[in-house]
Amino acid sequence: MSTTGIRQVKPKAEGWQQRKDAEGRPLLQFAAPRRVTKPPQHLADLTPEERVAKAKELGLPGFRAKQLAKHYFEHFTRDPERMTDLPKDGREELVASMLPNLLTEVRRLQTDGGDTIKFLWKLHDGALVESVLMRYPGRITLCVSSQAGCGMNCPFCATGQNGLTRNMSAAEIVDQVVRANEVIANGELGGKRDGDNSAERVSNIVFMGMGEPLANYKRVMQAVRTMIDKQQGLGMSARGITVSTVGLAPAIRKLTDEDIPVTFALSLHAPDDELRDEMIPVNSRWKVDEVLDAARAYFDKTGRRVSIEYALIKDMNDHPWRADLLAEKLNARGRGWVHVNPIPLNPTPGSVWDASPIAAQREFVRRLNDAGIPTTIRDTRGKEIDGACGQLVVTEEDERASADVA
Ligand code: SF4
């Protein structure tokens, strides 16, 4: 992946030209370019039934797969030496074939007094992705990546400027959580209160790292199923998992039909098509009203209140009239089904974008609240390490660091 010359860019008002396909539509990459090798198949890519079949294929009784899952999901271990309940004979082969290494840690940045860690991972083919682990009072949240790069081409997002390298496998997504749990279990995440000896693990997942999760639908859903599987997975609560999208309406409808009550977040960023067409090129396929209808249907089916994410960018989308229009469109679809999270943009170095001034942020929030829409500015934890939303981008420095890692 080349990162030379990556810059966030402003829409056409600033001279930015959207990249177009042969038919003149904004360039969107829904499919990854052809790649030579797939990530190695891993236990977390398989359903519990498929794991049993795989163990049998290796000449072992099916229950060995269950034992292995317990080591991986509950004890976060991939070390055959520690799996003493498995017969020594054939143990290494079993681990090598069902728990291959997927993520190699390239670097780790810690901030917020040790409460936030950003990981840079190298995948088997050299692609780089990131995840951010954050301790909050009463919960530990992991922001995961679902694709290496992203094909949605949003001009304000550094990741989007780089295009899609490839979809991550379900296991590569899940492994970010297991590895984070391992870090927590080793006491490497700061901020734990003195005298608190409770066993801790990631309690909340947000799919807001690299990639558009719903563009990698099948693997993201397999990962979610594994995260919530109480018997042979991570046993997390679906409510603690937030799946976000920039608005792939057909995939939102599919997610609705899954009947898994994950928290659903729509990155709207503009209430009018005129601006949204520029800010979120996928809006050229599915307009504001269609995605809001799909979001409302998600609430109707699951009873889960939808989050609307709105990056507040100075003089771009932070106008009072846009707050009013957003409130009008949300209220037109009923009350109590949605809340809005404005996120002051975190400009990356060299960015031509600015966060909205505090006064504009407050006015935006006030107007929505006055219109009866619960609205809270979202914590932009990880700001100091470029780990906030839309900022998970691999830099040349990251690539140099990764070259030193086997
Ligand atoms: S904002 Fe999200 S969907 Fe848009 S390019 Fe960036 S990572 Fe992709």
289-326 tens-digit pLDDT: 999 999 999 999 999 999 999 989 888 899 999 999 99
Is ligand 1 within 6 A of the CB of residue 149? no
Question: pLDDT band at residue 11, thresholds of 50, 70 and 90?
Answer: low
Q: How far is the CA of 324 from the centre of ligand 1 (A)?
A: 25
For atom 7 of ligand 1, the residue with the nearest CA is 211
* Bridge partner list, 116: 111, 134
Q: How far is CA 113 from CA 22, 162, 191, 257, in A?
A: 50, 31, 7, 42
Active-site residue set: 130, 389
Is ligand 1 within 6 A of the CB of residue 148? no
Tell me the mean pLDDT in the region 110-125.
Answer: 90
Residue 271 tokens, joined = 């209430």
Ligand 1, residue 210: give the atom nearest the CA: 7
d(CA 7, CA 16): 11
d(CA 11, CA 329): 24
Ligand 1, residue 245: give the atom nearest the CA: 3
d(CA 357, CA 275): 20
Pairing mode, strands 147-149 and 338-344: unpaired
User: Tens digit of pLDDT for each residue in 139-183?
Assistant: 999 999 999 989 998 877 777 777 899 999 999 999 999 999 999
By C-alpha distance, which of 248, 213, 211 is closest to 227?
A: 213
Q: How far is the CA of 150 from the centre of ligand 1 (A)?
A: 6
Is ligand 1 within 6 A of the CB of residue 161? no
User: Tens digit of pLDDT for each residue in 229-243?
Assistant: 999 999 999 999 999
d(CA 110, CA 38): 31
d(CA 78, CA 206): 25
Residue 247 tokens, joined = 């608005």
Residue 359 has pLDDT above 80, yes or no: yes
Residue 174 tokens, joined = 């899940």
Burial class for 403, CB neighbours closer than 10 Å (0-12, 13-18, 19+): exposed
Query: Given 1.10.150.530, 1.10.3720.10, 1.20.1730.10, 1.10.10.10, which CATH number is that of 43-98?
Result: 1.10.150.530
What average pLDDT does the chain have? 87
Residue 267 tokens, joined = 């990155």
* Lowest-confidence pick of 207-211, 301-305, 346-350: 346-350
Tell me the mean pLDDT in the region 361-382.
Answer: 89
Is ligand 1 within 6 A of the CB of residue 150? yes
Element (H, E) at 218: helix 217-228
Is ligand 1 within 6 A of the CB of residue 393? no
Ligand 1, residue 160: give the atom nearest the CA: 5
* Bridge partner list, 205: 142, 241
Cα 53–chain centre separation: 31
Q: How far is the CA of 92 from the centre of ligand 1 (A)?
A: 40
Question: pLDDT band at residue 4, thresholds of 50, 70 and 90?
Answer: very low
Largest CA-CA distance found in the chain, in angstroms, rounded: 69
Ligand 1, residue 161: give the atom nearest the CA: 5
| Residue type for position 392 | L
Q: How many residues does the chain have?
A: 406
Q: Give me the pLDDT at residue 386, please.
A: 45
Residue 6 has pLDDT above 90, yes or no: no
Q: How far is the CA of 156 from the centre of ligand 1 (A)?
A: 9
Question: pLDDT band at residue 138, thresholds of 50, 70 and 90?
Answer: confident
Angle between helices 91-98 and 48-57 (to 10 degrees): 140
Topology at the third CATH level for domain 104-403: TIM Barrel (3.20.20)
d(CA 220, CA 171): 9
First to last CA, the chain: 17
Name the residue ranges covered by the structural domains of the chain: 43-98, 104-403
Pair 9, 16: CB distance under 8 Å: yes
Q: How far is the CA of 390 from the centre of ligand 1 (A)?
A: 6
- Within 238-393, strands assigned E span 241-245, 263-267, 306-312, 338-344
